[in-house]
Structure 1
Amino acid sequence: MTAHSTPPSRSRRKGHGPTHSTSRRGHKGPLLAGLSALALLGVAGLASVEWTSAKRGGTAAEAGSGPATEPAPDSPSTTAPARPLTPSDPSSPTGSPSPTLPPSPTARPKIPATGPGTFTVAPGSGPKTGKGTALRYRVDVEDGIDLSAPDVARQVENVLADRRGWTADGRSAFRRVSSGPTDFVVKVATAGTVDKICGQYGLDTGGEVNCNVAKNVMVNLKRWLLATPVYAKDVKAYRALIINHEVGHFLGHGHVGCPGPGKPAPAMMQQIKGMRGCAPNVWPYDEQGRYLTGPAVP
């Protein structure tokens, strides 16, 4: 937090002379001397105003009036980098710059490494999407993490209902529920909990990746919040890839590789391991309803 001091007034009081002149014609010498003194004071005052303006606009060195000396920091071990002050910068101090800078807007969120292993079920249910018999699924969010279960459920519903998703095959259908029997469960959990549940089925997720085991579509909280470097600027898109990839496994689809340089990366490609020349893509089908795949890989 930057402390702001009250800026000095820009106004200058006008000097007022005596209301009545007391000089006489025979005393021009003292009068001229007085006027000369006032003129010298005026020049000094103008010089002072010009130096003050240079300081308010940046530093005295920037204004061309010699090297500037920064005020000493509060602690000998703390230094503050100088930064130019502009009228459009609302944090421009009017006094000494604060040695404390605001936190970076790109600071990574704090993500717990593990959680209690208990879950909150997203309430309510959603409409059926796709043709055929709907697969009933539930959305669970691990307790103790800063995610809204209803919000996560809404995002999962939107992914599975997208026309580029698995319903484009003409036979897959989905419906979210919050109670009763389910075909699979989407669980967003900490890395530790994902590792534990996936490890029970012999999969090593290493605290980093997602998995599908039995009826569980396990989503690593780290990937849900941070995506990967390729999708760092579009985390929402990467969430769609997580759901499409792991639900794809549940539907029986295996891993595939990149079909060729510049072509869309299939949703069933392990993109977290590298794009192999493919272009980023998070959907199983394209806009024309064509299935996007590549050569089978282990």
Structure 2
Amino acid sequence: MRAASRTGRSRSVRRRRLAVTVGCTALVAALGTAGLLALNHDAPRTPDSDSTSQARAVPALTEPTAASPAATASASSSASAEPPAAQPSAQPSGRPSTSTPEIVVHGSGSFTTATANGARVGSGSVLRRYRVEVENGIGIDPNTAAAVVQGVLSDPRGWTADKRDSFQLVSSGSYDFTVKIASPDTTDAICATDGLDTQGEVNCDVGKQVMVNSKRWLTGSPQFDGSLDDYRALIINHEVGHRIGHGHETCPGPGKPAPAMMQQIYGLKGCVANAWPYDANGSYLSGPSVN
């Protein structure tokens, strides 16, 4: 009887121990689940949100070194790309230090025509009437720009010295070509209509349009060791030179003036920076032709 009683008590104790163990295990599991649920409720992170968070984090780390349009615009013409190693500086050499102009990379696409008109300049029999337009929103005044263009084309060192061509600024009526100053993106788009790739850097002559990249107009070129006014003169003389039939030329020799039809933005090759097709005596500043 005692043996049976002890056996019964032993079995009862084992049952109670087993029940306690199972109960504790269940309690721990319940607390663990509750803890995880509490954590997820406090900061829910689904697989989608994890992916989104990581996708946003990577660009934030790499953007400062990416060649974004905004970076290019803050860094610093015929249709060809500027050499990668020769990025325009905020202040090209040979110029006094001033504040860096803002370059609007992507303009509105709409233009305002300068209201100014001018007298015919030059004695040449071939009259070329032109107007000046500036893209809206790029910070350049159309009438101010028109005065600059008119000053260049009326200068005795300009194309009127050929005794063949004369020019007249007009704001309405018939015209032979338009000088358009536009943002880099807009310049690219218009030049591309004739298959030209200006890569946001340079100017072009397309259709009835002389396209001037506003970056060049506002910052010049690091290769041109002269004033910004002279570089603007070079832009106009070079592109209008194409319009009246001149091709590219290169440096005629070390120390000589670079031809206006030379792509001086790519380097002077030993020549001296020069904005004008003729000198003060009316002699054409030429160089070997470039095919």
TM-score by length of 1: 0.64
1:138-167 Cα deviation digits (max 9, x unpaired)? 000001111111100000000000000000
Partner of 1:294: 287
The reply on whether 1:189 has 2:182 as its aligned counterpart is yes
The reply on whether 1:110 has 2:102 as its aligned counterpart is yes
**SS of structure 2 residue aligned to 1:130:** coil
Give the alignment's Cα RMSD to 1 decimal.
1.1
Distance 2:239 2:167 in 1: 14
Shift of 1:109: 1.7
Partner of 1:127: 119
Shift of 1:231: 3.5
Distance 1:282 1:202 in 2: 27
Q: Superposed, which structure 2 residues align to 1:150-165 within 5 Å? A: 150-165=143-158
For structure 2, the 5+ residue unaligned runs are 1-96
Q: Name which of structure 1's ranges 238-247 and 115-124 shifts more when overlaid on structure 2.
A: 115-124
The reply on whether 1:280 has 2:269 as its aligned counterpart is no
**SS of structure 2 residue aligned to 1:156:** helix
Shift of 1:232: 6.2
Shift of 1:233: 5.5
Residue identity (%):
56
Distance 1:225 1:269 in 2: 20
Amino acid in structure 2 at the alignment position of 1:277: G
Q: Which has the higher helix share?
A: 2
The reply on whether 1:250 has 2:250 as its aligned counterpart is no
Shift of 1:214: 1.4
**SS of structure 2 residue aligned to 1:229:** coil
Q: 2:207 aligns with which of 214, 217, 230?
A: 214
Distance 1:249 1:109 in 2: 28
Instruction: Kindly indicate whether structure 1 or structure 2 has the higher relative contact order, using CA contacts under 8 Å at least 6 residues apart.
Output: 2
The answer (yes or no) to whether the contact 1:212–1:250 under 8 Å persists in 2 is yes
Shift of 1:107: 3.8
Distance 1:145 1:223 in 2: 13
The answer (yes or no) to whether the contact 1:140–1:187 under 8 Å persists in 2 is yes
Larger Rg: 2
For structure 1, the 5+ residue unaligned runs are 1-104
4+ runs deviating over 4 angstroms: none
Amino acid in structure 1 at the alignment position of 2:151: N
The answer (yes or no) to whether the contact 1:256–1:294 under 8 Å persists in 2 is yes
The answer (yes or no) to whether the contact 1:198–1:212 under 8 Å persists in 2 is yes
